[in-house]
Every structure is written in structure tokens, then in C-alpha cells.
Amino acid sequence: MDADTSAPPQPTLDSFHRNDGNSEYLQSVSSESSSFIMVQPKNRLETPSRVWVTTVVVIVIVLQVASTTGLFIYLNMSVDQARTQGVVEELRCLGLLNALEKDQDVPEDLLPLFGEPCIKLAEGLKAYISKVTENIISKHTFQERVAIPPRTKLLTTGSPRPSAHLTLRDSGLQGTTSLTPQTDLHQSCRHPVRSWGNQSFGSHLHNMTVSNGRLRIPRGGRYYLYAQVYFRYLTLTSADYHSGSVSHQVVQCVYKKTAYARPIQLLKGVGTKCWSPDSENALHSIYQGGLFELRAGDEIFISVSSPTAVYAEDSSSYFGAFLFDL
């Protein structure tokens, strides 16, 4: 009986994969030998290329930052150097110009020493100083024009400026009261003149009032006051004739009555005249005028030393005041 014996299978060339942890191998199986072929992994091929690219990028960035920083530092140093040099040149130029006399032009032989930039700088400074000076002067003038005192603004609204020109009426003194000395006045002129009026030609009274010979100030301000009284002596005594000459002393005063009890003397005029015995009349006049700061409610009046010698005449005896607009 023949026994069926089957022969063992012969090995064939066949390959399979083997994974040994981190590497893969191709294994070939044969009857005589076995061999393994190593396959390179993909990760190890890609890692060096990424590192190289990153290194190049970092180097480029560092070089760019370094070059930018260096350029910035260089520019700053150049600007500082130019600025310092310019300041030194300007100071030198100003020193040379200051050595010259005021408003003196630069001589032609010194033009090369100063240089064109220095000359332009000097001209620019002169022009700037002139412009600033003109602006300051014009601004100051404008402010003075705008800053008008309140009392002056009232005058521009259409109301007439306070003023008065009064003349002496028929009798230089009104009643016997003026013949009685007023004790609170100076002893040389204690007789107030009361008969002032505005009925004659040329006299007027605007925004002011007069009462009992006193001119009342309507509002505060600087007023120009003026007065003139005509003195006339009609009769001379025989004793005066025998003396060879006749002399009389006349005094005229301008007073201001305020809230104080005693009037304030503003002006005083004194005249002493000698007349010949052959003269028919002894004539004399005193004129006074002045600018005064007055308040609303002040009263101005005239007083004399010789009440009987006061002569009423429109063109010779007068009294007035007006607001002076500064």
C-alpha cells in the first residue's frame, strides 16, 4: 500500500511588512535566505527643511531690525549735528550784527564775513521785530479806542453834552444877601455872585441846571470851568484924588460845593490896578479857567471881594462849564 505522503510546502518568494516599533521593514521569505529592506520614514525627511526655513526667516528679521535701528540712530545723529551747527552759526551771526551800531547797514566789505545766510537772518529778524512792534502799537491803540469811559458812551447815544454859558443879568448881585459875607468862604472873596442867567445872546444851558447862582453838575467827569467878572468903579473920593493915584484890589474865586460842609476853592484870581486921577472909571477884569474832575451833584459858583464893583455886561461878565471828552 502506497502511503500518500505529501511533501512539505516549499517556500516561495513572498514579501510582507514588519513593523518593529519605530521602523518599517520589507521582509522577503525564501528557502535559502531572508532579507529585510529598510524604508525611510517621511517625518525625518520633512523636519530638516522646516528648521532651515525658520532659521532663514529669523535671520532676515534680525537683519532688518538691526538695519532699521542703525539708520534711525544715524539720522538722529545727523539732525542733532546739523541743529547744533546751525545754532552756533546763528549765535555767531547775531554776535557780529550786535557789534554794529543800531540801525546801521552791513558794510559791503564785511558781506563775505557775514555770509548770505547771516544777512538773510538779520533781515528776517528786523522784519519780524518791526511787524511785532506795529502789531503791539495798533493793538494798544485799538484797545484805547474801545475802552471808552462809561460817561463818554452816554454822550454818543444822542444826548447833548452837558455844557453851560451864563452871563450876568441887569444887577450883578441879587438882593442884599450877596452883600453879606459868606463866612465859610475865604476872607478875600466872600460875596457870591448869584444873578447868572442864559437869556442873553450866546448864552445857553444844556443838560445842566442853575439855581441861586450855582451851576449843578449832572454826571461825573472832567469839566472845563471858566469865569470872568468885570469890575468897574464909578466914583472916586477926593482923598483918592489928593493921593495922586487911585488903586483897588479885586479878587475873584471859583468854588465847588460838595457833600462836605465847607465849599472847596478851585480857582482864585487877584488884581491890583492903579488908575490916573483924570480917568472917569476904574475898570478891571479877571479871567479864570481850569480842568477839574467833578462828580454828579457838585455845584459850582463864583464869589468876589468887591460886590458893589461888579458890572453886568454880557460880553464881559460870564461863567460856564462843559464836559471835556478825553
Binding residues: 274
Residues 6+ apart with CB under 8 A from 196: 166, 167, 168, 169, 210, 213, 215, 302, 319
The per-residue pLDDT for range 183-222, each reduced to its tens digit, is 889 888 889 998 898 888 888 999 999 998 899 999 999 9
Query: Contact, 257 vs 212, CB < 8 A?
Result: no
pLDDT on residue 319: 93
Residue 101 scores a pLDDT above 80: no
Determine the average pLDDT of the residues in 101-127.
65
Pick from 64, 306, 61: nearest CA to 190: 306
Determine the average pLDDT of the residues in 94-101.
61
Residue, of 298 and 250, whose pLDDT is higher: 298
Helix (H) or strand (E) holding 93: helix 42-99
Please determine, looking at this structure, whether the domain spanning 162-323 carries the CATH number 2.60.120.40.
Answer: yes
Determine the average pLDDT of the residues in 294-306.
93
Q: Where are the beta strands (DSSP E) in 96-217?
A: 163-168, 191-193, 196-197, 204-206, 209-211, 214-216
The per-residue pLDDT for range 165-183, each reduced to its tens digit, is 999 876 544 443 467 888 8
Determine the average pLDDT of the residues in 76-89.
71
pLDDT on residue 155: 46
* pTM as predicted: 0.49
pLDDT band at residue 57 using 50, 70 and 90 as cut-offs: confident
Binding residues for Zn(2+): 274
